[in-house]
Structure 1
Amino acid sequence: MAIPTRLKVSHGEVFPHGAFVIGDVEAVRDFERSTRERAVQATDKESGVLVWSVSVLDADPDARKDVKTVTVKISAPHQPVPPEAMPGMPFRPVEFEGLTVTPYLDDKRNRIAFSYRATGMRAPQSGGKPSPRTNAEAA
């Protein structure tokens, strides 16, 4: 049996209190193919599409300071556009589609860490909170 390295999760499982975009969506650099003079954008090893990254604030009030802000990499053929900011607020509530998590060992901190990937992002269906899980997401 082959165990996938990317485990499918719902947005609500990772961000039960919601999430907010706090930076720009940026191209991820492929360090193996790039040179000093020519940057090459990374592509997803499974789908072959371009990879983008965005910094996200986890709205969980109990989240530890060192995991309050995470990076989510998005595999998409074009640069994803974050949802609009809430009126009067600098933050943009977000919900990720096709979210996966990959656990790995963080040697520097000697503990398990997580890498997040998605296939898209959208405005949450209900304010800043994640949409309820569907039966398809729960499976």
Structure 2
Amino acid sequence: MGMPRKIVVEFGDTFPHGLFAVSEVTPARDFEKSTKTNSVQTIDEDSGCPVWTLDVMDGDPEARKADRTFTIRIITKVQPVLPPALPGLPFTAIELQGMTASPWVDTRSCSAPDEGRSHRCRARQGWSFRCMGIRAPKNMPGSGAAEQKAA
């Protein structure tokens, strides 16, 4: 048996300092099927459900600048709705449900060898996160409000 491509992870273990939505939920574009005039939404191969994207920020104060914000993919039949933001906060605190993580190698920092120099590779481990739903964090005031799960 080989290592699975998608590893099931717990939200609290992955983001112990919380996670914040910094954009609206939008349809993930299928770049192979879309044209300039017709945007086609990505469909998840395993579930057959549409894929949605959301830009988020990790609440970890120790997170590197390059790792602080990233995009997650949400797999649900209907477009998820973000929980209400707390008054006075610029971002919405969220908790992801049914999370998986897939490793990938980020080679954007690699450079080809220059004349007289060897290859310089500063590749790093990256993670692609997917979830099945979004809700307000359990420990936040008003967390009993709108909970979004996969239909």
TM-score by length of 1: 0.88
User: 2:140 maps to which residue?
Assistant: 127
Between 1 and 2, higher relative CO (CA 8 Å, sep ≥ 6) is seen in 1
User: 1:10 maps to which residue?
Assistant: 10
User: 2:131 maps to which residue?
Assistant: 118
Deviation at 1:35? 1.3
User: 2:90 maps to which residue?
Assistant: 90
The amino acid of 1:54's aligned partner reads L
User: 1:80 maps to which residue?
Assistant: 80
The amino acid of 1:126's aligned partner reads N
1:4-83 matches, cutoff 5 A? 4-83=4-83
CA distance in 1, matches of 2:31, 2:15: 30
CA distance in 2, matches of 1:73, 1:102: 12
The amino acid of 2:140's aligned partner reads G
| 2:30 aligned counterpart, secondary structure | coil
Deviation at 1:3? 2.3
Aligned length: 128
What stretches of structure 1 move > 2 A for 4+ residues in a row? none
The amino acid of 1:104's aligned partner reads W
Deviations 1:51-99 (A, max 9, x none): 0000111100111111011211000111100111011212111000011
5+ residue gaps, structure 2: 110-122, 142-151
Deviations 1:31-68 (A, max 9, x none): 11111111100011111100000011110011111101
Bigger Rg, which one: 2
Cα-Cα RMSD? 1.2
| 1:73 aligned counterpart, secondary structure | strand
